[in-house]
Structure 1
Amino acid sequence: MLLLNLMTLLVGAVIFCAVFFLCQALFSRGSVPAARLTEAANGNGNGTTRPLFSPELAESLAAQIPQLRVEAEQLEQELRRAGNYRPTARRDFLAFRAFLMILVVLVTAAAVVIVGPQNVELVYVILAAGVVVLALAYSLPRLFLVWQGNRRIRRIERGLPDALDMITMCVVGGLSLRDALLRVASEIATAHPDLAVELEIVRQQAEIGTLDLAFKQFAQRVDLPEVRAMASLITQTHRLGTNVATALRDAADSLRGARRQRADEAANRTSVKID
């Protein structure tokens, strides 16, 4: 019985690692910052990653597990937080998850057939392990997506104050805010590729629509209180025609202060745990 339990744990660990690396391959960032910048700005998101399935197969797999409208909207928000702006990102995610679940069911069924009815106890163990792994195949891709989105948001948050300082210098130097966004996005594409993509999206949305709407949608994608306050300050300043450079400088200082405050709080909590 101990051997069976060890085998079950080993199979679960192998499945977990396989799901993790498959998720990493499907939703990882592109390798070339400039290419990602252009593709994401054009709505292709991580376009450097090739799809695992054909469009027809992906549609069929994605339809196997229906979603409510609220769940679909939440999934799309999480995909955007993780930097997946492809029009087919939600379909590809659902297809990938359905493929994993179907694979687990097929492997479990094959294992039961191979063991046969002569070993009923082992069949029950395989079925129980199959149910656990099936639940993992359903939940792990979503958990990985949320984890990746949180990491990406933290990277954007770290680079945003410096980017605002650069935008401020460009505006003070005589560039318009749209031109400053373009210049800064190209300059930070290597150091802060995620933020560069977001700034380029803001610039293109501002050209198509309005600057106010572009910053509002940027705040919704990043979904941080400080970024929402920054977007509100910049749009209000731009609408009233006051000094945009001052607003950008104040927003950068506010972001640095909020980040420093969170770091101090984390340090205080750590010291209390040590004591």
Structure 2
Amino acid sequence: MQFLSSINEQISEVLGPMGLIIIVGVVGLMLVVATVIMMLRQPEDPLAKLKRASTIGPGDDGKTKLRQAGGNQQLEKFAKFLEPEDVAELSAKQLMLRQAGYQGRDAVRVFYFAQMALGILGLIAGVIYVNFLGGGEGLTTQKTMMYTVGPGGIGYFLPKYWVTRRVEARKEEITRGFPDALDMMLVCVEAGQSLDQCIVRVSNELRASYKALADEFEVVAYEMKAGKDKITVLNDMGERCGVQDVSSFVTVLVQSAAFGTSISDALRVYAAEMRDKRVMRAEEAANKLPTKMTLATMMLTVPPLLIILVGPSVHGITELGNMSGPGGQ
């Protein structure tokens, strides 16, 4: 025990009171780096290599495909660490990233890798700030731990916050642009174009104004060209957008295709409904504006008004009290 106490005292003299924690953190980071290097240097599975080579045809650009496969392979080695084991949780995370606009197959792995990397970088920044830049001088142990671990926690939750904001912004953009997209689809269908052609045309026309909605229509067009079932493609679009108006529109198209009714009639009725809904949404925002402005008006108007009305009276009473005091007599 005396030997351990002497070692602890020597460490405290050299690195300060948090010296032992610094040494443990450095050793942990070294173990993490060593584990990552060992996993990167693992030999490739021969069966996976043969499968990857078989997907490259004789007329394809082999170098490009090998580079793409190599990039995915780096994340494939960390799949057990960068993907949740639960299938339901994995599907929910994939849906959330798709709603945020990240359609890649490695989006989930990149998300968890960003969380891990930013968390480690934040933890390293906190340790450097507290122990080497003098930020921990005069702080209690609780505040020292908070300043050390806090940046790591912020870095860990930053990707989730970013994706959540992206989902909300993208849903808002799709909601604002959907009535215009329906009007354009109605014009294209009444001009004699098929549903596939009008989706492609609407996607090209909307890209300048509503990029998120144009991307969704482009995905639908590519999936239809690939031969995927039209009803499945539309249902996937409704789930991927996460907007109630789009889901209702998909239901209308599916029912129109199932019962054999005219798509132009369904689009005309639903487009008129969406225009009315947009007007009601604007009226709702306008009706909320006076309520939101009430608090700001009170904060900016009432205090100056009170000062103007009550200030002279208070000043007069103060002067009268000074005159009637012992000094005034």
- Please report the TM-score for the alignment, with normalisation by the length of structure 1: 0.71
Corresponding residue for residue 170 of structure 1: 188
Tell me the amino acid that sits aligned with residue 104 of structure 2. R
Q: Any conservation in 2 of the 1:203–1:214 contact (CA below 8 Å)?
A: no
- What is the match of residue 98 of structure 2? 80
Which residue of 127, 142, 145 corresponds with 1:127?
145
The letter of the residue matching 2:233 is A
Which protein, 1 or 2, shows the higher relative CO under an 8 Å CA cutoff with sep ≥ 6? Answer: 1
Letter in 2 for 1:228: S
State whether residues 234 and 247 of structure 1, in contact with CA within 8 Å, keep that contact through their aligned partners in structure 2.
yes
* 1:106-185 → structure 2 map (5 Å cutoff): 106-114=124-132, 121=139, 125-185=143-203
Give secondary structure in 2 for the equivalent of 1:191: coil
Instruction: Give the AA of the match of 1:203.
Output: A
Distance 1:128 1:268 in 2: 44
Match 2:89 to one of 42, 66, 71: 71
Shift of 1:78: 1.6
Q: Post-superposition shift, 1:150?
A: 1.2
Shift of 1:114: 2.9
SS of residue in 2 equivalent to 1:258 = helix
| CA 65–122 in structure 1, closer or farther in 2 if over 3 Å, else same | farther
Q: Equivalents in 1 of 2:143, 2:249: separation in Å?
A: 55
Q: Map residues 235-246 of structure 1 onto 2, 5 A cutoff.
A: 235-246=254-265
- The equivalent of 1:219 in structure 2 is 238
Equivalent AA in structure 1 for residue 196 of structure 2? R
Distance 1:120 1:66 in 2: 42
Displacement of 1:203 = 2.0
The amino acid across from 2:139 in the alignment is E
**Partner deviation per Cα, 1:12-59 (whole Å, 9 max, x = no partner):** xxxxxxxxxxxxxxxxxxxxxxxxxxxxxxxxxxxxxxx9xx656655
Which secondary structure does the structure 1 equivalent of 2:139 belong to? helix
Larger Cα-atom Rg: 2
Quote how far apart the aligned CAs of 1:213 are: 1.4
SS in 1 for 2:150: helix
Provide the residue aligned with 1:100 in structure 2.
118
Q: Using the TM superposition, give the Cα deviation of residue 74 of structure 1 relative to its aligned residue in structure 2, in angstroms.
A: 2.4
Counterpart of 1:171, as a letter, is: V
- Displacement after TM superposition at 1:135 (Å): 2.0
Separation of aligned partners in 2, 1:135 and 1:240: 54
Residues 178 and 213 in structure 2, CA contact (< 8 A), matched pair in contact too? yes
In the TM superposition, residue 139 of structure 1 has moved relative to its aligned partner by 1.7
* Partner Cα separation in structure 2 for residue 182 and residue 66 of structure 1: 34
> Which letter maps to 2:265?
T
8 Å contact kept, 2:123–2:152: yes
Give a deviation string over 1:127-156, Cα, whole Å, max 9, x none. 211222222112221111111111112112
Q: How far off is 1:245 after superposition?
A: 1.0
Equivalent-residue separation in structure 1 for 2:248 and 2:142 (angstroms) = 56
Partner SS for 1:121: coil
TM-score, normalised on structure 2? 0.60
Superposed displacement of residue 206, structure 1: 2.8
**Structure 1 unaligned spans of 5+:** 1-50
Name segments (4+ residues, structure 1) moved above 6 Å: none
| Residue 112 of structure 1: how far off its partner (Å) | 4.9
Query: Which residue is equivalent to 2:270?
Result: 251
Check whether the contact 2:75–2:109 (CA below 8 A) recurs between aligned residues.
yes
Question: What percent identity do the matched residue pairs reach?
Answer: 27
What is the identity, as a one-letter code, of the residue corresponding to 1:223? G
1:261 corresponding residue in structure 2? 280
Q: Structure 1 residues 124 and 55, CA, compared in 2 at 3 Å: closer, same or farther?
A: farther
User: How far apart are residue 64 of structure 1 and its match?
Assistant: 4.8
**Structure 2: distance between partners of 1:123 and 1:108:** 14
Alpha-carbon distance in 2 for matches of 1:120, 1:69: 48
AA aligned to 2:290 is S
* Secondary structure in 2 matching 1:137: helix
Question: Aligned to 2:207, what secondary structure does the other structure show?
Answer: coil
Secondary structure at 2:104 match in 1: coil
Asked if the contact 1:105/1:130 (under 8 Å) is kept, the reply is yes
Residue 186 of structure 2 contacts residue 268 of structure 2 at CA under 8 Å; is this kept in 1? yes
